[in-house]
Chains A and B, each alone.
Chain A
Amino acid sequence: MTASALPRASSATSRKAETRQDEVLRLLPNGLLVVVIGALCALVIVPLSYVIFASLNSDVGVARGEFFPSSFSWDSYVKIWTTVGLGRGIGNSLVVAGSTAVVSAAVATATAYVLVRFTFIGRVTILRSLLVQQSIPGTLMVLPVFVVFFSASTYLGITVIGTLWGLSITYLTFALPFSTWVMVTYLRGLPRVLEEAAQIDGATNLSILARIVLPLSWPGIVVSAIFAFLLGWNDVLFASVMTNSDTRTAAIALQIFGATQEGGALPLYGQMMAAALVCATPVVLLYLIFQRNLVGGLTAGAVK
């Protein structure tokens, strides 16, 4: 990335200059480079390919510890949808994580704009608390939240536990500090000049926000939405406590494969691996599509 950002001499000599620059930037001798990259790729790819093979294998084959299946079959990918209702789990996850993402990105953008562009007492405290809130362990929060929701049904007659919106609200409390922080770091990088120019032209605060800030900050908004989505999609703690068999998320549905046994014999390993891959797919797709933006967001000071 550094190399490509540098000025090129001319198109005729650029190829040559590029190789020379690469030579200057070189950190490792070729042989070592191959060893390091090979070893690290193997570290990632070997377990991954095992999962793919295992999802095509029979339960007995996986239990025996085979790497290559003795018999290939796509059965697992067909059965996962009926065994524990994985489809429903994924649907629930999409609804919960999706709504969390939309709401949290919208609120975070507004909050971050105020935090970045206006000065007021307590601003730095709020910025600091954004970071503190990200680090509060979920296990400390799960009980009070559970008790509040529980009381809502005892005292007010409103059922919250086991509903999708209850879960979504819970995720919001965790997603908002992080999304806001991402937006704060993003909005800070936008030049103030454009907004000042618009102000001189007589634009109101609202129209500045709508016509200048929002169009410019789309990449940041997308990143903060994706992180909120991932938070909802990846959570097990809250979902394990606050869902029932109708509202359980994909993460919880996957756990059930481990407990389900056909005829008391073996866990459904093949289906479990297939379902694991299916659960990972939306996340991996999101990363691949938005990789460039997301990596920036990760390194902008992110606690996962």
Chain B
Amino acid sequence: MVTIIVVPILIALYMSVLGLDQYTLRQWLNAPFIGVGNYVEALTQSSLLKSFWISISFAVISTAATIPLGVGAAIATQNRFRGRAVVRSVFLIPYVLPSFVVATVWRTMFQPGGIIVNGLHSAGITSGLWLNGPKSYWTLIIVEIWASWPLIYLLVLSGLQSVDHEVHEAAALDGALWWSKLRYVIFPYLKGPLSLACIIAVLNHINNFTLPFVLFGVPAPRDVQTLPFLIYITSFQSFRFGLSTAMGFMSLILVAIPLFIYLRAVKLDTD
């Protein structure tokens, strides 16, 4: 099983030092060897660094914005009430919808003259273009937030449920008001699950290709060219295969940091 991942990675490593494009693909083993040329070009002449920045800020902003939504939802559905099962199912809907469906739907809603532009217009706000130009970056973030907050909700909810009943009893005996109970009793318990949730969320945001790809299509506005998207464009629009694999390897750095923390946090072995 390791080989089916390792072999492509080795091939990718080899490809990243070749001057590979659509003309040399057919006989790709004979493509000219250019060493670190692709890496140098990616750093100096492409928009790789800009994409790095877009990916990082996109992941951080999306994660930060989903925290209050997810935590709020988890706290609200901890208590039993009539119809809680339905509410919980509703909360999961954005997460279970396929990304390509979510992106298609929001693309239609953000269309010039579509429901959102029109709605804002009747509220007296002229919003301009959402799928093009600088605002497209925020469109991407809004849709990502809508689609990803239930992940935080799920992980925080399971953290909440592992809080001992005695803790609740003690807080009730002390006559703690709801806010101080949350602030001083419950939140400290959630630190662990919430940080794990954030790391997983950041990894998901960084690796999300489908959402920007379907939401904006190709050619895409520059402001939404996250790393995976830029790599895709370099591969299948510019056909610079060697260059894009070099970019791919450099983008691994970005995944490596949260992944490292994640690996430390997950219990690998029970023994």
Least Cβ–Cβ distance between B70 and chain A, in angstroms: 10
Known A140-B248, A173-B5, A236-B213; judge A304-B266 contact (CB<8 A). no
CB contacts (< 8 Å) of A50 on chain B: these are: 109, 115
Asked if residues A63 and B204 are in contact (CB atoms below 8 Å), the reply is no
A102 within 8 A of partner (CB): no
Residues of B contacting A172 with CB < 8 Å?
4
Q: How far is the CA of A280 from the CA of B93 in the complex (A)?
A: 10
Q: Is the CB of A54 within 8 A of B100?
A: no
Q: How many residues of A contact B (CB 8 A)?
A: 94
Q: Indicate if A262 sits at the interface (CB-CB under 8 A).
A: no
Is the CB–CB distance between B228 and A137 below 8 Å? yes
Q: A272 touching B28 by the CB < 8 A rule?
A: no
Please tell me if the beta carbons of A284 and B97 are within 8 angstroms of each other in the complex. Answer: yes
Kindly state whether residue A143 has any CB partner on chain B within 8 Å: yes
Q: 1/0 per residue A162-204: CB within 8 Å of B?
A: 0000000000110011001000000010000000000000000
Contact code string A39-60 (vs B, CB < 8 Å = 1, else 0): 0110111011011001000000
Is B1 an interface residue, CB under 8 A from the partner? yes
What separation, in Å, do the CA atoms of A36 and B77 have in the docked complex? 10
Flag whether B72 is at the interface (Cβ < 8 A): yes
Report the bound CA distance from A173 to B7 in whole Å.
11
Chain-B contact segment, one of A26-34, A73-81, A207-215:
A26-34
Question: Which B residues, 1 to 33, have Cβ-Cβ distances below 8 Å to chain A?
Answer: 1-2, 4-5, 7-9, 11-12, 15, 25-28
> Which listed residue (A135, A141, A241, A280) contacts B259, Cβ 8 A?
A135
Is A113 in contact with chain B by the CB < 8 A criterion? no
Closest A residue by C-beta to B206 = A137
B245 and A144 within 8 A (CB): yes
- The answer on a CB contact under 8 Å between B98 and A251 is yes
For residue B78, CB closer than 8 A to chain A, the reply is: yes
Which of B106, B107, B209, B263: most chain A Cβ within 10 A? Answer: B209
* Number of interchain pairs (Cβ within 8 Å): 255
User: Which residues in window 90-132 of B have CB below 8 A to A?
Assistant: 90-94, 96-101, 104-109, 111, 113-119
Contact across chains for A22 and B114 when beta carbons are under 8 A apart: no
The answer on a CB contact under 8 Å between A128 and B100 is no
From the candidates B12, B96, B161, name the one contacting A143 in the complex (CB within 8 A): B12
Tell me how far the C-beta of B248 lies from the nearest C-beta in chain A, rounded to whole angstroms: 4
Q: Which residues of B contact A6 (CB under 8 A)?
A: 165
Interface flags, A12-42, vs B, CB<8A=1, else 0: 0000000000111111110001001100110
Expressed in whole angstroms, the minimum distance between the Cβ of B142 and any Cβ of chain A is: 11
Residues on B with beta carbons closer than 8 Å to the beta carbon of A298: 151, 154
Q: Pick the interface stretch among B37-45, B57-65, B133-141, B230-238.
A: B230-238
Whether A255 touches B214, Cβ cut-off 8 Å, given contacts A26-B178, A51-B105, A148-B8, is yes
With contact pairs A36-B72, A47-B105, A258-B104 given, residues A25 and B78 touching in the complex (Cβ less than 8 Å): yes
Do B98 and A27 touch across chains, with their CB atoms under 8 A apart?
Answer: no
Contact status B25-A150, CB under 8 Å: yes
Query: Contact at A144–B8, with CB atoms within 8 Å?
Result: yes
* Cβ-based interface call for A156 (8 A): no
**A40→B69 contact, CB < 8 A:** yes
Whether the pair A139, B114 counts as a contact (CB closer than 8 A) is no
Given the contacts A47-B109, A144-B15, A283-B96, A303 and B200 also touching, CB distance less than 8 Å = yes
Report the bound CA distance from A188 to B259 in whole Å. Answer: 23
Report yes or no: A295 in contact with B89, Cβ–Cβ below 8 A.
Answer: no
Tell me if A92 counts as interface (CB < 8 A to partner B). Answer: no
* A266–B9 alpha-carbon span in the complex (Å): 43
B28–A63 CB distance below 8 A: no
A-side contacts of B100, CB under 8 Å: 234, 236, 251, 254-255, 279
Q: Could you tell me which residues of chain B, from 40 to 82, have a CB within 8 Å of some CB in chain A? A: 69, 72-73, 75-81
User: What chain B residues lie within 8 Å of A291 (beta carbons)?
Assistant: 89, 92
Given contacts A62-B114, A237-B209, contact A280 B97 (CB under 8 A): yes
**A140–B79 contact, CB under 8 A?**
no
Asked if residues A299 and B158 are in contact (CB atoms below 8 Å), the reply is: yes
Tell me whether A225 is interfacial, beta carbon within 8 Å: no
- Among residues of B, the one whose C-beta sits closest to the C-beta of A41 is B90
* A residues apposed to B, CB below 8 Å: 1-3, 6, 22-29, 33, 36-37, 40-41, 43-45, 47-48, 50-51, 54, 62-67, 107, 111, 124, 126-129, 131-133, 135-145, 147-148, 150-151, 154, 172-173, 176-177, 180, 188, 230, 233-237, 240-241, 251, 254-255, 258, 269, 272-273, 276-277, 279-280, 283-284, 287-288, 291, 295, 298-299, 301-304
Q: What are the 3 tightest A-B residue pairs by CB atom distance, in nearest-first order?
A: A65-B118, A140-B248, A144-B8
Can you give 16 A-B contacts (C-beta < 8 A)? A2-B161, A2-B163, A22-B80, A41-B87, A47-B106, A65-B113, A107-B1, A131-B263, A132-B263, A136-B5, A139-B231, A139-B251, A234-B210, A258-B107, A279-B98, A301-B266
- Chain B contact residues, CB within 8 Å of chain A: 1-2, 4-5, 7-9, 11-12, 15, 25-28, 69, 72-73, 75-81, 87, 89-94, 96-101, 104-109, 111, 113-119, 146, 151, 154-155, 158, 161, 163, 165, 168-169, 172, 178, 181-182, 186, 196, 200, 203-204, 206-207, 209-210, 213-214, 217, 227-228, 231-232, 235-236, 241, 244-245, 248-249, 251-252, 255, 259, 262-263, 266, 268-270
